[in-house]
Amino acid sequence: MIAPQSAAAANNSSSSESSSSSRRLRRPRVNVHIPESIPNSSEEHLGDSVVDSETDESLVGLPFTQDSIHVRAPSPRILNWPPPDEVLPMAVPLSVPESPRQEAALRPVVAAVPATPLPQGHSCKSALSNRRIQLILALLAVVLVAFVAFLSVVLPRALGETPGRLSKSEARLASLEAVVLPVSGSSAFENPASPQARALKWLAFDDASQLDPETQRTWLLQRYSLAVLYFATDGTNWFNQANWLAPDHECSWKTQDKGVTSCTVLRVTGIRLDSNNLQGPLPMEVGWLLDLNELILHDNQLTGSLHPTLGQLTSLQYLYLWNNSFTGTIPNSISEMGQLKILSLSKNLLEGPLIDSIGMLNLLQELHLQQNMLNGTLPTTLGKLVSLQKANLASNRFTGHIPSQLGFLKQLSRLTLRKSKIDRICI
């Protein structure tokens, strides 16, 4: 509600009205047709009351300030009135007129302006605040989209990676896996904690040599097989680490009398890790060390079966696996080790019959199979071991007779069969 001004202020304003009217800014000449009420149709004629804002003294001196309300006036069709859709600013003072004459002149103007109340709970301040919130949210959305685009496009390119393609490290891992896959088989890499998977990751990311899988394939397979041996037998707990997995060539993986004991033209030919706390299975990848002629792993805690890939070691001369915990049978592939001179598998948990194909080892000098659980009869093919000097088959479950063919082994000096059920020589 507008409070009336004091009488003194009204008299002072009236006395100074005439002197300051010449200095006031005058609004442009506008003919305003003020109707008694707003017509229902734009075709009806409006009232005859016309106010000249320039000549009518009753409007001179009205305080048109920033607090004035600008409204849309009706659009009577008189003179050069603007088009109906044009907004005509009309200043309605928010303060009480300074004279009764001014109040009488403004009354029809105020009455002609229809009051449009704001919606409940709505204010200009809240609308502006909502608009600002919308702008801020839109800006945040733009920034978020730009950030996601940076992470998915710009950042990979900066790191040398192309979206939709393998990174350099991933590509190297894939190329190495393609080389070793025929050796270990795809199932070996399904478990990321398997010795094969760990050896592959070591080659791809940690090995300082960074061998090229295309031009250094043979060397890579040798290094991979030795790494698998390390991870499969709990290499971190070896008594003697033997400089294993060093950045240098594999031929330098040795300390004192343990490790890679011999090499020929950078090819590993001898491994000695006896009494070194090796635990776990003997991995099949050892069979891919094709130049080995000496494999000495006795007095450890090796478990599992002897893998048929051992037969690929056709250059092997000395195989010492005694005093471990190997189970299963002796693989037939051992008969393919044509250069084998000493075969020592005693003090294990091997079972089953002694293979007939053992007679193919015509260079074999010593055969040690005691303290296992081998059974069945002795094969007559033992008589083909023309180089055999010592044979210890004691403490097994052999039955039957001693083959008479052993009588033709001229170099055989010692045959031990105690603690078995073999009774006599078959003639």
Tens digits of per-residue pLDDT, 9-18?
444 444 444 4
Structure tokens at 233: 């037998």
Q: Encode pLDDT of 135-179 as tens digits.
A: 888 888 888 888 887 777 666 666 555 555 667 888 899 999 999
Q: What is the mean pLDDT of residues 337-365?
A: 96
How high is the mean pLDDT of the chain?
A: 79
pLDDT, one tens digit per residue, over 230-278 is 999 999 999 999 999 999 999 999 998 999 999 999 999 999 999 999 9
Q: How many residues does the chain have?
A: 427
pLDDT at 415 over 60: yes
State the pLDDT confidence band at 382, using cuts at 50, 70 and 90: very high
Whether 359 contacts 382, CB under 8 Å: yes
Alpha carbon 81 to its chain's center: 73
Residue 337 has pLDDT above 90, yes or no: yes
pLDDT category of residue 99 using cuts at 50, 70 and 90: low
CA–CA gap between residue 377 and residue 396 (Å, rounded): 11
Question: Are 315 and 339 within 8 A, CB to CB?
Answer: yes
- Where are the chain's structural domains? 26-112, 168-425
Question: Under CATH, to which class is 168-425 assigned?
Answer: alpha beta
Question: What's the one-letter identity of residue 7?
Answer: A
Bridge partner list, 295 = 271, 319
Q: What is the 3-state secondary structure of 354-373?
A: CCHHHHHCCCCCEEECCCCE
Tracing tokens 């055969």 back to the chain, one arrives at: 367
pTM for the model stands at 0.63
| Under 8 Å between Cβ of 90 and 54 | no
**Of residues 226 and 70, which shows the higher confidence score?**
226
In which element (H, E) is residue 140 found?
helix 124-149
Calculate mean pLDDT across residues 361-372: 97
Q: What is the pLDDT of residues 176-212, one digit of tens each?
A: 999 999 999 999 999 999 999 999 999 999 999 999 9
